[in-house]
Homo-oligomer: A and B are copies of this chain.
Amino acid sequence: MQILTQPLNELLQQVATRTDKQANKPEVESTVAAIIDNVRQNGDAALRDYSQQFDKVALTDFQIPQAAIEMAYENADQELIDALNLAKRNIISYHKKEIQNGFVDAEQPGVVRGEKIMPLAAVGLYVPGGTAAYPSSILMNVIPAKLAGVNKIVMVTPPQADGVAQSVLVAAKIAGIDEVYQVGGAQAIAALAYGTQTIPRVDKITGPGNIFVAVAKKQVFGQVDIDMIAGPSEIGVIADEGATAAQVAADLLSQAEHDKLARPMLVTPSLTFAKQVSAEIDEQLVTLPRRNIASASVENEGFIAVVDNIDDAFTLMNAISPEHLEVELADAMSYLNQIQNAGSVFLGYNASEPVGDYVAGPNHILPTGGTARFFSPLGVSDFVKRIQFVDYTRSALAKEVKAITTLARVEGLEGHARAVESRFSENGVSSK
Collect the chain B residues with CB atoms within 8 Å of residue A402's CB. Answer: 79, 82-83
Interface stretch of the complex, out of A50-58, A154-162, A304-312, A352-360: A352-360
Measured CA separation A136–B410 after assembly (Å): 10
Collect the chain B residues with CB atoms within 8 Å of residue A225's CB. Answer: 371, 374-375
Collect the chain B residues with CB atoms within 8 Å of residue A418's CB. Answer: 250, 253-254, 284, 288
Collect the chain B residues with CB atoms within 8 Å of residue A251's CB. Answer: 419
- Cβ–Cβ contact B336 & A116, under 8 A: yes
Collect the chain B residues with CB atoms within 8 Å of residue A343's CB. Answer: 387-388
Q: Does A376 contact B (CB under 8 A)?
A: yes
Q: How big is the A interface, by class? A: 35 or more
Measured CA separation A332–B430 after assembly (Å): 24
- Cβ–Cβ contact A416 & B357, under 8 A: yes
Interface stretch of the complex, out of A4-12, A62-70, A378-386: A378-386
Collect the chain B residues with CB atoms within 8 Å of residue A86's CB. Answer: 400, 403
Q: Does A427 contact B (CB under 8 A)?
A: yes
Q: Does A347 contact B (CB under 8 A)?
A: yes
Interface stretch of the complex, out of A41-49, A106-114, A181-189, A265-273: A106-114
Q: Does A241 contact B (CB under 8 A)?
A: no
Collect the chain B residues with CB atoms within 8 Å of residue A428's CB. Answer: 244-247, 250
Measured CA separation A347–B358 after assembly (Å): 46
- Cβ–Cβ contact A427 & B246, under 8 A: yes
- Cβ–Cβ contact B80 & A410, under 8 A: yes
Collect the chain B residues with CB atoms within 8 Å of residue A229's CB. Answer: 222
Q: Hey, what's the 0/1 contact readout for A111-127 against B, CB within 8 Å counting as 1?
A: 11101101011000000
| Interface of chain A residues 329 through 387 with chain B (CB within 8 A) | 332-333, 336, 339-363, 367, 369, 371-377, 379, 381, 384-387
With A247-B419, A290-B415 known to touch, is A388 a contact of B408 (CB < 8 Å)?
Answer: no
Q: Does A411 contact B (CB under 8 A)?
A: yes
Measured CA separation A113–B387 after assembly (Å): 30
- Cβ–Cβ contact B371 & A376, under 8 A: no
Measured CA separation A381–B120 after assembly (Å): 17
Measured CA separation A250–B416 after assembly (Å): 8
Collect the chain B residues with CB atoms within 8 Å of residue A93's CB. Answer: 105, 107-108
Q: Does A393 contact B (CB under 8 A)?
A: yes
Which residue on B lies nearest to A86, using beta carbons? B403
- Cβ–Cβ contact A397 & B345, under 8 A: no
A132 to chain B, nearest CB (A): 9
| Interface of chain A residues 389 through 432 with chain B (CB within 8 A) | 389-394, 396-397, 400, 402-404, 406-408, 410-420, 422-423, 427-430
- Among B116, B257, B280, B415, the residue within 8 A (CB) of A250 is B415
Which residue on B lies nearest to A280, using beta carbons? B429
With A257-B414, A352-B420, A406-B83 known to touch, is A389 a contact of B336 (CB < 8 Å)?
Answer: yes
- Cβ–Cβ contact B82 & A253, under 8 A: no
| Interface of chain A residues 219 through 246 with chain B (CB within 8 A) | 222, 224-225, 229, 244-246
Q: Does A135 contact B (CB under 8 A)?
A: yes
Measured CA separation A379–B117 after assembly (Å): 13
Q: Does A75 contact B (CB under 8 A)?
A: no
| Interface of chain A residues 51 through 108 with chain B (CB within 8 A) | 79-80, 82-84, 86-87, 90, 93-94, 97-98, 100, 103, 105, 107-108
13 residue pairs A–B, Cβ–Cβ below 8 Å: A82-B402, A134-B411, A203-B373, A225-B371, A253-B419, A258-B413, A283-B429, A289-B414, A294-B415, A345-B389, A355-B390, A356-B388, A358-B408
A-B contacts besides A79-B402, A290-B414, A358-B416, 15 pairs, CB < 8 Å = A82-B402, A83-B403, A83-B406, A90-B108, A94-B113, A98-B115, A131-B412, A135-B410, A246-B427, A246-B428, A250-B415, A349-B394, A352-B419, A355-B392, A358-B407
